[in-house]
C-alpha cells in the first residue's frame, strides 16, 4: 500500500471572549470520531498511518478523489471507534457500525462553499449508502444562536460545534478559518508513567503521568475518565492520549484533566 500523507486542516478554538463574530460562518457538529483521509483507494490517519477498512466499506467510496473527514461510530463512542479503526485483521464486521463523515475535498479548487457543493453533488451521483455522509453545514445567525446550539448539542451527547469561515480555501495545518467551539478543550499527552491506585483502586492504575505532546517539559497527571478495565491495562509509556480540560493553569498545563482515550494515529 502506497501511503501519501496529507497535511490536513486543523482548527483553532473559539469562545465567548473571541473577537471573531461568527455571524454568517458555517456551523457543523464537532464529531467524536477518528480523523481520516480517504485517498481514493484507502484510509489513512492525519499522520499517514493506514486504517484497514474492509472491502465492503471501501467499495462505496469514490475512486481517485481525496476526501477529508472522520470515521464516526456515534456520539460517546470514541474509544470503541478507535479500537475498530486501529485493528488490522480483526473486528472487520464492526466497521458495519461506522460512517465516514466527510467535511471537505482538499484537492477541489475554490472556496469552502464550492467544495461543499462538490461533496453534495458527489453524494447525489453515488450509490445510496450508510457508510459515507457529508457533514451538514448551516449558516450561523450570531453569537447567541451559536451558544444556544452548543448547549443543545452537548445536552444531546455531542462534543461541540465547528465554524468555517465563508469563502475560505483549504489550508494545511492550523488555521483561523476553521474554529472549534466547546465547553471543554482537549489536548494530546504522552504517557511517561503511572501512579498506583489506593483504596478501591489498590492494585490497579490510579493515574497516568503525562507530558504535553507539544511541550514535553510540562507534565501533569490524569486520574479520572477511566473504566475499570482501562485501569487494569493502562496505556504504555510513549502512548499518545487525549485529555479534556477546563482551562490551562498559569504554568501552561491542563487544569482538571479527564482521560478521553488513546489517539488512533
pLDDT, tens digit (0-9, with 9 covering 90-100), for 191-247: 999 999 999 999 999 999 999 999 999 999 999 999 999 999 999 999 999 998 878
Looking at the domain 10-174, which fold is it?
D-amino Acid Aminotransferase; Chain A, domain 1 (3.30.470)
Q: What is the pLDDT of residue 171?
A: 94
Is the pLDDT at 4 greater than 70, yes or no?
Answer: no
Cα angle 222, 84, 156; round to 5:
65
Q: What are phi and psi of 163, to 5 degrees?
A: -120, 135
Q: What is the pLDDT of residue 47?
A: 86
Which residues make beta-bridge pairs with 253? none
Confidence (pTM):
0.80
pLDDT, tens digit (0-9, with 9 covering 90-100), for 66-95: 999 999 999 989 989 998 998 887 678 899
**Residue for cell digits 485483521?**
89
Q: What is the pLDDT of residue 90?
A: 66
Q: Is 30 a catalytic residue?
A: yes
Closest among 236, 176, 188, 247 to 215, alpha carbons compared: 188
pLDDT, tens digit (0-9, with 9 covering 90-100), for 51-60: 999 999 999 8
User: Which residues of the chain are in CATH 2.40.50.140 domains?
Assistant: 185-262
**Helix (DSSP H) and strand (DSSP E) numbers for the chain:** 5, 18
User: Which residues of the chain are in CATH 3.30.470.30 domains?
Assistant: 10-174
One of 5, 13, 30, 143 is an active-site residue; which one? 30
**Residue for cell digits 504554568?**
251
Mean pLDDT of the chain: 91
Q: What is the pLDDT of residue 1?
A: 45
Looking at the domain 185-262, which fold is it?
OB fold (Dihydrolipoamide Acetyltransferase, E2P) (2.40.50)
Is the pLDDT at 17 greater than 80, yes or no?
Answer: no
Amino acid at each position: 500500500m502506497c501511503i501519501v500523507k496529507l497535511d490536513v486542516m486543523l482548527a483553532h478554538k473559539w469562545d465567548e471572549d473571541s473577537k471573531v463574530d461568527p455571524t454568517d460562518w458555517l456551523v457543523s457538529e464537532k464529531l467524536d470520531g477518528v480523523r481520516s483521509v480517504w485517498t481514493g483507494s484507502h484510509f489513512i490517519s492525519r499522520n499517514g498511518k493506514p486504517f484497514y477498512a474492509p472491502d465492503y466499506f471501501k467499495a462505496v467510496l469514490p475512486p481517485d478523489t481525496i476526501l477529508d473527514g472522520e470515521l464516526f461510530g456515534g456520539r460517546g463512542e470514541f474509544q470503541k471507534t478507535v479500537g475498530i479503526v486501529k485493528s488490522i485483521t480483526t473486528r472487520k464486521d464492526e466497521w458495519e457500525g461506522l460512517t465516514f463523515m466527510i467535511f471537505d475535498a482538499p484537492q477541489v479548487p475554490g472556496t469552502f462553499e464550492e467544495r461543499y457543493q462538490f461533496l453534495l453533488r458527489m453524494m447525489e451521483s453515488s450509490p445510496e449508502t450508510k457508510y459515507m455522509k457529508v457533514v451538514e453545514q448551516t449558516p450561523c445567525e450570531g453569537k447567541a444562536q451559536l451558544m444556544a446550539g452548543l448547549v443543545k448539542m452537548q445536552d444531546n451527547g455531542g462534543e461541540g460545534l465547528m465554524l468555517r469561515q465563508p469563502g475560505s480555501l483549504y489550508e494545511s495545518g492550523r488555521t483561523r478559518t476553521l474554529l472549534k467551539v466547546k465547553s471543554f478543550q482537549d489536548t494530546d499527552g504522552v504517557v511517561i508513567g503511572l501512579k498506583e491506585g489506593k483504596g478501591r483502586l489498590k492494585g490497579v492504575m490510579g493515574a497516568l503521568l503525562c507530558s504535553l505532546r507539544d511541550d514535553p517539559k510540562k507534565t501533569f497527571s490524569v486520574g479520572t475518565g477511566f473504566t475499570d478495565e482501562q485501569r487494569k491495562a493502562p496505556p504504555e509509556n510513549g502512548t499518545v492520549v487525549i485529555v479534556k480540560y477546563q482551562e490551562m493553569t498559569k504554568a501552561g498545563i491542563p487544569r482538571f484533566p479527564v482521560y478521553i482515550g488513546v489517539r488512533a494515529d
